[in-house]
Structure 1
């Protein structure tokens, strides 16, 4: 019998979401689904989320979207984009009768317009306005399958990388979360300049170890300036994106969640450059860990690079608007220039 994992939590007998969740549970059981997290009491962490994906055959997200719910939904979408074998043929449906998921959809639509999301998220994160629509969508995808993500492997050679210890004068590591697909010349130039800035100021550069887009540019800029560069990636994504030349250290991980975990643990600050759903996922993870007072985030600033493009469009504004409803004003900083990023790094952590 297939198993569906339910998101969301019901808080007490007077929770307004209780009736619709009860109806959803009934319809799912009646349609032959076993249900994980029916009571909404399971905790999802970076360390266990991949296990929960593996043991599930489908995913249903419920009204009253929390930041954690959005993190999980975006994570699944990233898995579809990167052709995660553990998500093959597994549908995701979001019950959005209260429109609480609309801010996330606006973010994803914005990034599709900006070119950092190639796939139409609506074909992968299906929505329904009623429990009946949710159950019908699950059955349809189970019968017909998911769309092709349109990704092709570009690397199949054995994964090899140097393992060079950081220099003694390294002042700290800055993790740069960014797009491996965006090729806008202005943003790519910014990426190279940031990499150089880090190297010239004895700051290590930590990234997702992709060879293309802004991600490749950041590493390239640091390497060319003699910087220490480390990255974390997983085998099936390396096959899609390759590895950048000149990495000092590679943390090879089994999944994208432990990939994030090792990057977070080995960094002293975070810069969020223009990116796609993966960067959204990573920023959500940072904020959730901060809210949980996780020691891995203690004293570590988050800087969102929100420089306007040639058309005056500020890349991260829709996401910043979304986070304003979930995060305190001082939980992250914004910058519109590399000089501002440098000043914030020096002021926040002294590196």
Structure 2
């Protein structure tokens, strides 16, 4: 029988989510599904999430979305975007009866408006208002499959991990999470400027090691200014986005989750630059590490660059709104200018 992975955790017999979960469990089981995480007692981490995806045939997310649930749902959509073969034909349905997922949907809608998400994500993250609708969505994807994501490979991947000598002093390394798809010259020029500023201030630049969009420009800015530039990527994304020239260090990883771990391990601070679903995924991963008290994130600041928009407001207003429950945690800061980003980054290492 096919396996569906159910999200969410149950804290005890008085948990308000217990009743709707029991109803969902019954309907899934009665309709031929075996169920992972039926009791809500399994944890997903960066080190095991890819295995959990491989072993599952579909994904159902429950109400009362946690930070971990948001991360998993966005991660699955990023997997669809990057043609992860382990997600081919697998349905993802979100039961949003309590509207706890509204902030995430609002953020992704806004990123579509801004052009950093090109696909209609609602055709991949299927929203349901009842347990009956969940079953209907699973059946429909089983019969019809999922839409074409609209991306094609541009090269074969023959890359491997490397480390080159770098003889200039570094005071620290800053990881820049950003868009690989933005083509707006204003964003591209700021990405290049940030890479240049990091190099000129003896800060290494860690990235997702892609050639396209803002990501490519951040790398190029650092390389052109003679800076240390490192990054991590996976074979199937390299085939979509290429691999930059001039990097000092590169860490090839098998999946996007161990890729994030490599970037986190090799960085002293993090900048959330304008981006799309992948950047949201990376931000949520950082917050989960912070929440868990992981030594990988100890003393490492996370800076959201909320780039002011010509029409008013900031690029990441909806992200900041979604993260409001964690606003007082000290997990992240918000900057409105590149100068602020640079100063916050330097403060972390000097």
TM range (shorter): over 0.9
Partner of 1:36: 36
For each residue in 1:135-187, what CA deviation from the matched residue of structure 2 results, as whole angstroms up to 9, or x when unmatched?
11101101110111000111125225752144351111100000000111111
Q: Does 1:332 align with 2:332?
A: yes
Please give the alpha-carbon distance, in whole angstroms, between the structure 2 residues aligned to 1:331 and 1:156.
39
SS at match of 2:326: coil
Runs of 4+ residues deviating >4 angstroms: none
SS at match of 2:315: coil
Partner of 1:58: 58
Please give the alpha-carbon distance, in whole angstroms, between the structure 2 residues aligned to 1:156 and 1:146.
25
Partner of 2:94: 94
Q: RMSD over aligned Cα, in angstroms?
A: 1.2
The alpha carbon displacement at 1:279 in A equals 0.4
For each residue in 1:170-213, what CA deviation from the matched residue of structure 2 results, as whole angstroms up to 9, or x when unmatched?
11110000000011111111100010011111111000001010
The alpha carbon displacement at 1:16 in A equals 1.4
Q: TM-score, normalised by structure 1?
A: 0.97
Select between 253-262 and 167-176 the one with higher mean Cα deviation: 167-176
Select between 205-214 and 244-253 the one with higher mean Cα deviation: 244-253
Select between 76-85 and 302-311 the one with higher mean Cα deviation: 302-311
The alpha carbon displacement at 1:326 in A equals 3.2
Gap regions ≥5 residues in structure 2:
none
Partner of 1:183: 183
CA contact (8 A) 2:162 2:251 kept: no
Gap regions ≥5 residues in structure 1:
none
Change beyond 3 A, Cα 1:110–1:339 = same
Partner of 1:137: 137
Partner of 2:286: 286
Please give the alpha-carbon distance, in whole angstroms, between the structure 1 residues aligned to 2:167 and 2:301.
23
SS at match of 1:175: strand
Please give the alpha-carbon distance, in whole angstroms, between the structure 2 residues aligned to 1:132 and 1:155.
43
Partner of 1:201: 201
For each residue in 1:72-100, what CA deviation from the matched residue of structure 2 results, as whole angstroms up to 9, or x when unmatched?
00000000000100100100000011111
Change beyond 3 A, Cα 1:135–1:326 = farther
SS at match of 2:93: strand
CA contact (8 A) 2:171 2:349 kept: no
Q: TM-score, normalised by structure 2?
A: 0.98
Change beyond 3 A, Cα 1:161–1:25 = closer
